[in-house]
Amino acid sequence: MFRRSRRLALIGTAALAITLTHLLPGSTDVHAAAQVPVSKSIKVTFNGSEYKPKSAPFVSSGSVYLPVRDMGELLGTMVAWNSTDKTVTMNYPELTVKLVYGSKNAAVNGKTVALTAPLLMVEGRIFVPLRFFSEATGAGVKWDPSRKTVSITRADDFIKQQVWSSIWLNRKTGEVYTARDEQSPAILVGKLNASIKGNVSFTEGGIGGGSGSVLTIVDNYGEPRVQYDAYGLFIQNNKIVSQKKASYFQRYEQNASYFQVYHPNGWLQYSVLTDGKSVTVFNEQGKAVKEYDLPALAGKDEVYSVLAIGEDYLVVRPNQTGLLTLIDLKDNTTVVLADKLLTGKDLDYAHSNDVPYHGDELLFAGDMGYGMLHFYYDSPVDDKKDSYVRLSYDRPSYEEERNALPKNRSVSELAAVCKQETIKSVDMQDGDIQYIPLVGANKEDGKSINTVCGILKKFASKGVQETGQAPITETFFHGMGISFTEGDSLELYPDSKGLAIDLGDNQRLILADSQVNRDFENLKVSLPQISVGPNPAHIGETVHITGANGEFWSETSAVSVYWMPTDSYSNTDKKALLIYTGKAKFGRYDIKFKMPASGKASDGSMKAIPLGKGRISVYDSASIEMLPAAASTAKTGK
């Protein structure tokens, strides 16, 4: 059964900005490197080690110039270039630097700092004078003209894992900073209660936004790096509200950080923390709503990795035995999954191997509903690397519910009855990218659904049945799930031979048809991003907003439009103001309304919308700048 995920349907943030039509006065725009005496022989060292920036430093008018993005990233800042207003922003804990191309000054933490020389642009990249880096970032920067060497020194206690990462950890103090994006300042969210011993890595998870996120910090230490301390931090509204530490030996797997449960009124989402012995579940309001004692549930006093969690089950791996275990909360049973899913040499390996660690290689793949859990498995004894197969385990506690389900008809039977009236939905995704689903109740999807039915009819007439599962090279699903109104469902997915449908019992149907392959790809339509116009918008002016709210399976759904500050994560922010309510049709909205001067706060009071930059939020959000009411609007009220 193909299950749609509201979380996978999250749409990325869109930014709207005003296009400037003139360069700022005094700007120095160099379109070709030949116009500046670039010296490719200039060497850069950082704390004694040579560093090769992507853009070569040069000397111009007696000043040494360094590429701002390369140097900023080297020093651990997040660097953003806004091509519209020609502004470079560098963000770092307790430091925000803004450089406006064409200005003789920079802003460092809001204070004006004069530049010793103007900014230069070479082949689309901004360069700044060497001395500025020293003054702005506190780094030691020296120029040795005889050796043509720029030496940068800086003692930095902050750990930043990747150039694109928006997380900083102070190794000494434990302070944790995060930034919403590269344009936003780094915010102190709290302290990690730990003493770092080795190599550090970060992973972000949880629900995200104002509903809470989970930051996992892993400290890998010891010789030969076999100790793992995994710190889970539950962050809500830019503050650490809870944290747990789990310690593992030899084997570390990322713990589950969230799960979702589908209810008729929508998806309920939960964040998860574990210390290896217990599991705490937080709801979207940040309240701890469940606590699980893992040794008591699993029957062994062990430290556990929590690899999956649902409303009535946990999938855990005890660190000592390494055998993936299902804890079924519905019937209070535990199952060693290797004993149910593996045979022969694979089962022997799971129970006897101890290099590089004990246990099996089973990976949780997903909850397919009605107690059907899927797992990926790459056999360590078949000499085929990264050749995964998908295995299924049906929880006995759901046998009655599964028996009550309608029996799936054959591909030929489904193809024969396939039409818009018999299709409930067609869901498509490529890994974590989800496309707009087709819905049988939506007349506008009729043509595309006919294409889907045509593909099924070709499977029925030309498909070739073969034995064996195709190896899975990626653990995310890529393909199409078709759900019928009578409860039948099937999945289509790309295969090296064409398209395939799993039939069960180690059988699948293969269709090699180039036209079908093209039709299959053409059915994928990306989720629309929010569009807001005009921008800037005057109070009282008609605003046009289009986009999607994710409720594609409902003929009508509510659309709530919020104004919120630029530093807000979601419309649950206390500063967010409700400014309009409307309707969406099958998940898409196209609404117009006059921009009000005030909006409703979370406490029910009406508050004025501040002028200046902010965000418009529906399901995703877009930047907007608010201006006073136009003169004609102010006088006439129209």
434-457: pLDDT as tens digits? 999 999 999 999 999 999 999 999
CA 614 to chain CA centroid, Å, is 23
Q: Is 314 exposed, middle or buried (0-12, 13-18, 19+ CB in 10 A)?
A: buried
Question: How confident is the prediction for the chain on average, in pLDDT?
Answer: 87
Angle ∠(297,300,303) on CA atoms, nearest 5: 90
Residues 356-377, buried b or exposed e (16+ Cβ, 10 A)? eebbbbbbbbbbebbbebebbb
Q: Quick one: which of 151, 148, 144 has its CA closest to 38?
A: 148
CA-based diameter of the chain, in Å? 84
Whole-number Å distance between alpha carbons of 99 and 127: 11
In this model, does residue 87 exceed pLDDT 80?
yes
Which of residues 573 and 478 earns the better pLDDT score? 478
What tokens were used for 52? 């090769």
Does domain 31-153 correspond to CATH entry 3.30.457.10? yes
Contact 176, 189 (CB under 8 A): yes
Domain 531-636: CATH class, spelled out: mainly beta
What is the model's pLDDT at position 21? Answer: 23
Of 163-172, 468-477, 599-608, which range is least confident? 468-477
Whole-number Å distance between alpha carbons of 411 and 368: 20
Phi, psi of 266 (to 5 degrees): 125, 175
Q: What is the mean pLDDT of residues 13-17?
A: 25
526-552: pLDDT as tens digits? 989 899 999 999 999 999 999 998 889
Contact 79, 183 (CB under 8 A): no
Which of residues 496 and 29 earns the better pLDDT score? 496
Contact 494, 479 (CB under 8 A): yes
97-140: pLDDT as tens digits? 999 988 889 999 999 998 888 889 888 889 998 888 777 888 88
Contact 551, 562 (CB under 8 A): no
Helix H, strand E, coil C: the string for 506-555 is CEEEEECCHHHHHHHHHCCCECCCCEEECCCEECCCEEEEEEECCCCCCC
At 569, the pLDDT band (50, 70, 90 cuts) reads low
Tell me the sheet residues that pair with 218: 201, 230
Contact 454, 519 (CB under 8 A): yes
Question: What proportion of the chain, given as a percentage, has pLDDT over 70?
Answer: 89
The three-state secondary structure class of 209 is helix
In this model, does residue 70 exceed pLDDT 60?
yes
Whole-number Å distance between alpha carbons of 487 and 489: 7
585-632: pLDDT as tens digits? 999 999 999 999 999 998 899 999 998 888 888 876 677 778 888 765
At 9, the pLDDT band (50, 70, 90 cuts) reads very low
Q: Is 385 exposed, middle or buried (0-12, 13-18, 19+ CB in 10 A)?
A: exposed
280-301: pLDDT as tens digits? 999 989 999 999 999 999 999 9
What is the model's pLDDT at position 570? Answer: 61
What is the model's pLDDT at position 446? Answer: 97
Question: What proportion of the chain, given as a percentage, has pLDDT over 90?
Answer: 61
What is the model's pLDDT at position 555? Answer: 93
Angle ∠(565,570,571) on CA atoms, nearest 5: 80
User: What are the angstrom distances between the C-alpha of 379 and each of 94, 301, 307, 359?
Assistant: 49, 29, 19, 12
327-371: pLDDT as tens digits? 999 999 999 999 999 999 999 999 999 999 999 999 999 998 999
What is the model's pLDDT at position 621? Answer: 65
